Amino acid sequence: MKAQSPSNDPRTFHPSTRAVPLPAVLLPAALALALLFAVLAPGTAFAKSESIRSLDMEVTVRPDGAMDVAERRTFYFSGSYTGYEQFIPLSASADAPGFVEASNVSLSDENGEYRRIEWFYDYRRPSASPPGTYMIEPRNDQLHVVWFHSSTDTERTFTLRYVLKGAAVAFDDTAQLYWKFMGDEWKTPTERVNVTVRLPEGASKNDIKAWGHGPLSGQVSIPDGKTIIFQAAGVPAETIVEGRILFPPSLVPGARRVPGRRLASIVESEAKEASEANARRIWARLVLGVGLLWPLLGLAGFAFLFFTYGKEYKPSFEGDYYRELPSEDPPAVVGALMNMGKVRTDDFAASIMDLARRGYLRIEEEVTEKNGLFGTKTDKEQVVVKAREPDEKLAGHEKQLLALLFDKIGSVDRVTLTDIRDYAKGHPNDFKRDFDSWRNAVESHAEARGFLEKKSSTMAWVNGGLAVVIGLGAFGLYLIHEEFCVLIFGGLVAAAILASSRLIRRRSKLAAEEHAKWRGLRQFLLDFSRLDEAPPSSLILWEHFLVYAVTLGIAKQVIDQLKVVLPQITDERGINSFAPWYVASSRSGLEGLSSLSEMSHSMESTMSTALSSTSSGSGGGGGFSGGGGGGGGGGGGGGW
């Protein structure tokens, strides 16, 4: 009689309890993902490798206890292969010690039967034997079969047939077939395993008990009184697929006799293994469920933080264009407003131009001509000249900028762009430290203006902590039960949440209003020459606009439009009125404006080059159950 409790179901397939080693170093989920992507990189696709698509095994138990076996394995060979070998230990089951005897070995593929040749040991050497041949090592403790083929980037199916005498044994109260249909020495995973065992006629379905040992995904079924089917998908490398079948001894009258009554003890042992396996299966499902729910809770947490603390306030200004200066903030501070508190290199150039506009500096263009082999070469140099000493009207970061230009880089009252470039390359660490100090001063100014909500900045850190918790939780669940999908899903979500932390930060209500107006001004400066309206005629206003256009990243576009829309500033009188703080080598306003555009671009290029060089210089049916491993057979194989 089969036990009624599901946990004692004799057809339950138990997972192997062989321990799988955990990683020696506990890596965070992000590193695990990076390693995974490295393994899956396109370059690895060209490595020589084999995969086992399926194992279909037909086992027929004879009345004398022998079994006829036909193993059909389908491989995919990536690269060129010329041989394969398989080992099958001939030891019997642990509860009926001894050896089985192998005979009638043959091999075939899709094209027909292979020819057997005499055994030799250096079979892995190139061209050891022609394709379509096989050989058997003459040993009594294992069946060792080697065959030769020619396969390149293709799928192949090989069928190995043999007879094992003494595989089934008869106890006093039951007969048993206890066999590893696939051993734990296979180094390659198998995508699908299907084993069909057929018993001799004469028993009913209720007379048969069957258990499977291997991966938790395995299933065993008993469709009738002579057929038992073991199935498993995604069998990992070095994992057994084992079956244990009990049936009436009368079916195998010629089988080897082993004294003793074993039925009750076997059923009790398998029931215990089944109960433990079911507990592990429940635990695995729990881990999988929590592992998938955990990152979703993290996403929900991110959504809450974003909509509560990160979503920008809606400004009252909703127009496309804003035609005046929204505030009197220095251009670098406006840059921090536009870039969520961060200061960029073009804000440095805009600050120099703004200090020149306000009378603290003068920007001059010097031209030198050099005679060369192929004619005269003209070099232009932008020179920043101190026009007056700093006073109390300057902000702290503006005083720092002047000190950097004239006390650290240039002379007392003069510095060129070449000086800045040379200093940055020659003293990268000093330059980075000074520039970072200036940038921090600007960001402190922006912080004092209340551009960013302090609580939202705090919540951005909370979001980063949430990402760490999600990643560590996923890795912890992976250590508890090695579900790789839990690690992957949790790691991806954790990385996405961490990368999105900056979205949690938002501008204050006042800053959101000013940001909308500055964005409207930027759009106006980009489109004013195409608008069906007269642009502002005040040169002082355009002088302001041009300085802020640098920090808004549109200086060249504005200058190009000014040449067309306000041509009056292109003559000598116009340029003197428009930008008296800029002295170009040519007094033809148009050329001066072009030089002005080149100066701002050159300044930004100098800063970017300096900072990048600094960075690079810093360095019955049911599931498989546990236990098992006591059956005969097993082994493994591999190709070359």
The overall average pLDDT reported for the chain is 82
Q: In the prediction, which pLDDT does 376 show?
A: 75
Nearest to 161 by CA among 192, 190, 136: 136
Taking the C-alpha atoms of residue 377 and residue 370, their distance in angstroms, rounded to an integer, is 5
Q: What is the pLDDT of residues 601-618, one digit of tens each?
A: 555 565 566 556 555 544
Taking the C-alpha atoms of residue 468 and residue 132, their distance in angstroms, rounded to an integer, is 56
Q: What is the pLDDT of residues 491-537, one digit of tens each?
A: 888 888 888 888 888 899 999 999 999 999 999 999 888 877 767 76
Percent with pLDDT over 90 in the chain: 41
Confidence of residue 16 (pLDDT cuts 50, 70, 90): very low
Confidence of residue 252 (pLDDT cuts 50, 70, 90): very high
**What are 195's strand-pairing partners?**
57, 230
Percent with pLDDT over 70 in the chain: 80
**What are 50's strand-pairing partners?**
77
Q: In the prediction, which pLDDT does 316 show?
A: 92
> Beta 375-386 vs 361-372: how paired, if at all?
antiparallel
Confidence of residue 621 (pLDDT cuts 50, 70, 90): low
Q: What is the pLDDT of residues 196-229, one digit of tens each?
A: 999 999 999 999 999 999 887 789 999 999 999 9
- Three-state DSSP class for residue 315: coil
Taking the C-alpha atoms of residue 473 and residue 28, their distance in angstroms, rounded to an integer, is 10
**417 CB-near residues (< 8 Å, 6+ apart):** 381, 382, 384, 599, 602, 603, 606
Taking the C-alpha atoms of residue 13 and residue 230, their distance in angstroms, rounded to an integer, is 8
Q: In the prediction, which pLDDT does 93 show?
A: 85
More confidently predicted of 621 and 489 = 489
The residue written with tokens 């004799």 in the block is 10
Q: Provide mean pLDDT across the span 241-256.
A: 95
Q: In the prediction, which pLDDT does 572 show?
A: 55
Nearest to 501 by CA among 468, 530, 543, 460: 460
Q: Calculate the alpha carbon distances from 373 to 175, 197, 367, 376, 377 in Å.
A: 104, 93, 19, 8, 10
Q: Provide mean pLDDT across the span 16-29.
A: 34
**Is residue 126 a contact partner of residue 82, using CB atoms and an 8 Å limit?**
yes
Widest CA span of the chain, in angstroms?
Answer: 120
Confidence of residue 31 (pLDDT cuts 50, 70, 90): very low
Question: Domain limits of the chain?
Answer: 345-448
What single DSSP character describes residue 295?
H
CB atoms within 10 A of CB 335: 28
Q: pTM for the whole thing?
A: 0.55
CB-side neighbour CA atoms (13 Å) of 121: 1
**Is residue 548 a contact partner of residue 334, using CB atoms and an 8 Å limit?**
yes
Q: Is the per-residue pLDDT at 36 higher than 60?
A: no
505-526 exposure pattern, b = at least 16 Cβ within 10 A, e = fewer: bbbbeebbbbbbbbbbbbbbbb
The residue written with tokens 């090695």 in the block is 482
Q: Is the per-residue pLDDT at 86 higher than 50?
A: yes
